[in-house]
């Protein structure tokens, strides 16, 4: 990925030379593209600052999954699940490798806690991890890794992570990437309140474990060793035969259908008319 600046780049300031040198050290994708550099040149002129932002996607470098998990668990108590997962990945990259990851304030992802300001939508540990994946992967690669992460989350007993000096906790399979479903199911199985310290401990561990999984997927991808092992639930395949892009063509999604819908309820309701 290392490449000398082309003849199209002229009148470089000292700052720009430092920027290009840094890009080269980082193996940044922008270093391969004169067009991307010209784009940045225009932005620099507009902003008159910050030369150290390479073109997206940023070059990934390997992280330690075990350390990622611990960082995610600890960061959960600072700013919630989405912040925790993003700090354990992008913040971890910044701590380990510095620029350009130091450019993004990890606090930006605080909003995702509790499925966005406690609305119970998308699990924040997934939201923060997916943002990290997308930062360092192009669209097609990110979709591939995110599909795996989401499907793994929905079908896996979580959390299995046991922080040092602590006891195991109840694990559940969420069957859903939604905070509301994931948390409520755990609360019912564990017999613990949603506001209990045990539930928060569960979400902290899950934050670490999801971030770890994301890093494992990234490490595998960047060593060309990624193999998909998980798929959306069986009901998705079955229901989307009609509701997907053929026949009814009226449903967008890969979430387990029967988490919210009765099997074939629509057909049954239609037959009752």
- Longest Cα separation, the chain: 75
List 162, 234, 260, 267, residue binding a second copy (CB under 8 A) = 260
To a second copy, the closest distance from the beta carbon of 102 in angstroms equals 5
Q: What residues from 224 to 243 belong to the interface with a second copy (CB under 8 A)?
A: 232
Beta bridge partners of 114: none
Question: How many residues can be counted in the chain?
Answer: 273
Nearer to a second copy, 183 or 210 (CB): 183
User: Which run of H or E residues covers position 254?
Assistant: none
Q: Site size for a second copy, by CB under 8 A?
A: 77
- Which of 40, 222, 83, 28 is CA-nearest to residue 141? 222
Q: What residues from 177 to 196 belong to the interface with a second copy (CB under 8 A)?
A: 177-180, 183-184, 187-188, 193-196
Residue 125 in the binding site for a second copy (CB under 8 A): no
Q: What residues from 7 to 66 belong to the interface with a second copy (CB under 8 A)?
A: 15, 18-19, 22, 43, 46-50, 52-53, 55-58
Q: What residues from 103 to 122 belong to the interface with a second copy (CB under 8 A)?
A: 103-105, 107-112, 114-122
> ω before 159 within 30° of 0 (cis)?
yes
* Per-residue CA distances from 35 to 3, 43, 119, 164, 178 (Å): 14, 13, 42, 49, 40
To a second copy, the closest distance from the beta carbon of 251 in angstroms equals 5
Nearer to a second copy, 110 or 212 (CB): 110
To a second copy, the closest distance from the beta carbon of 162 in angstroms equals 23
Nearer to a second copy, 195 or 224 (CB): 195
- CA 130: distance to chain centroid? 2
- Which of 78, 83, 87 is CA-nearest to residue 112? 83
Q: What residues from 195 to 224 belong to the interface with a second copy (CB under 8 A)?
A: 195-196
What is the C-alpha to C-alpha distance for residues 15 and 36, in angstroms, rounded to an integer? 17
Q: Angle at CA 102, nearest 5°, toward 32 and 119? A: 110
Nearer to a second copy, 162 or 267 (CB): 267
Residue 170 in the binding site for a second copy (CB under 8 A): no
Nearer to a second copy, 139 or 164 (CB): 139
Number of other CB atoms surrounding residue 175 within 10 Å: 18
Contact predicate 227/95, CB 8 Å: no
Nearer to a second copy, 50 or 157 (CB): 50
Nearer to a second copy, 137 or 216 (CB): 137
What is the C-alpha to C-alpha distance for residues 250 and 240, in angstroms, rounded to an integer? 9
Mark the segment that binds a second copy (CB under 8 A) among 3-11, 142-150, 164-172, 204-212. Answer: 142-150
To a second copy, the closest distance from the beta carbon of 265 in angstroms equals 11
Residue 253 in the binding site for a second copy (CB under 8 A): yes
What is the C-alpha to C-alpha distance for residues 86 and 105, in angstroms, rounded to an integer? 10
């Amino acid at each position: 990925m290392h490449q000398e600046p082309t003849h199209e780049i002229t009148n470089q300031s000292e700052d720009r030379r430092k920027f290009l040198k840094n890009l080269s050290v980082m193996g940044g994708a922008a270093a391969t593209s004169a067009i991307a550099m010209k784009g940045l040149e225009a932005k620099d002129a507009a902003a008159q600052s910050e030369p150290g932002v390479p073109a997206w996607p940023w070059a990934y470098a390997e992280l330690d999954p075990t350390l990622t998990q611990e960082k995610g668990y600890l960061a959960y108590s600072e700013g919630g699940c989405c912040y925790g997962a993003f700090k354990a990945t992008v913040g971890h990259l910044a701590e380990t490798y510095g620029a350009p990851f130091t450019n993004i304030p990890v606090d930006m992802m605080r909003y995702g806690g509790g499925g966005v300001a406690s609305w119970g939508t998308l699990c924040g540990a997934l939201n923060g991890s997916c943002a990290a994946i997308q930062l360092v992967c192009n669209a097609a690669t990110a979709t591939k890794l995110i599909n795996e992460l989401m499907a793994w989350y929905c079908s896996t007993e979580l959390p299995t992570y046991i922080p040092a000096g602590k006891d195991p906790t109840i694990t559940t399979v969420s069957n859903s990437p939604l905070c509301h479903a994931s948390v409520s199911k755990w609360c019912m199985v564990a017999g613990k309140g949603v506001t209990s310290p045990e539930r928060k401990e569960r979400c902290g561990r899950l934050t670490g474990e999801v971030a770890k999984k994301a890093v494992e997927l990234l490490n595998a991808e960047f060593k060309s060793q990624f193999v998909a092992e998980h798929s959306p639930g069986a009901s998705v395949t079955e229901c989307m035969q009609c509701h997907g892009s053929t026949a009814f063509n009226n449903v967008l999604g890969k979430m387990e259908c029967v988490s919210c819908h009765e099997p074939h309820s629509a057909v049954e309701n239609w037959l009752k008319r």
